[in-house]
Amino acid sequence: MGVKVGVLALQGDVAEHITAFREALADRPGSSVIPVRKVADLVDLDALAIPGGESTTISRLMGKNGLYDPIAEFEGGIFATCAGMVLIADRVDDPRVRPLARIPMHVDRNAFGRQVDSREAMLEVAGLAEPFRAIFIRAPVATDVGPGVEVLARIPEGIVAVRSGRHMAFAFHPELGGDLRLHRIFLDGLGV
């Protein structure tokens, strides 16, 4: 049986997530990846990716499109990157963002500062034998996490990768660069 993954397609690097998940699912017959723009798109999904982009814009568009509550109650796994990490938290440093409260953690939205402060780093990530090339673009960081949240990676600025049940969140962009190890770990953790 295949895995059905949706990618929240309101704003951000949607195409990159769709491509990465299609590649990660290539060896799982019957799997599919679809863009999610409305509530009906969430039906029968095993997982949802919330991409990087502008967290305040994505938050506003989720509300406008009636997606906030359905995503907050979504029963599948959530793979959240950059702005997605901000949205999946339960506490955010910006009142313009309405967090989904799916992972108990406090996130600082633009911990890295401006676009020119973006960077790449070889990152030690729990569960990976070799370092992961992490691409940070105006990235957030988690400053603390609640019970049951596994910290997978941190840098001097803060926590940049976590897992909580079937959900994973990253301050960086694992969908860029062609390394699909984190996608595969996420998919393996879905239990489907």
**Token representation of residue 149:** 């949240």
79: phi then psi, degrees, rounded to nearest 5? -110, 105
CA dihedral 92, 164, 185, 25 (to 10 degrees): -70
What's the DSSP call for residue 185?
H
**Dihedral of the alpha carbons of 107, 43, 45, 72, in degrees to the nearest 10:** 20
- Catalytic machinery residues: 82, 173, 175
Pairing, β 4-8 against β 158-164: unpaired
**Residue 78 in tokens:** 């959530």
Q: How far from 105 is each of 16, 40, 48, 87, 185, CA to CA, in Å?
A: 26, 29, 19, 11, 21
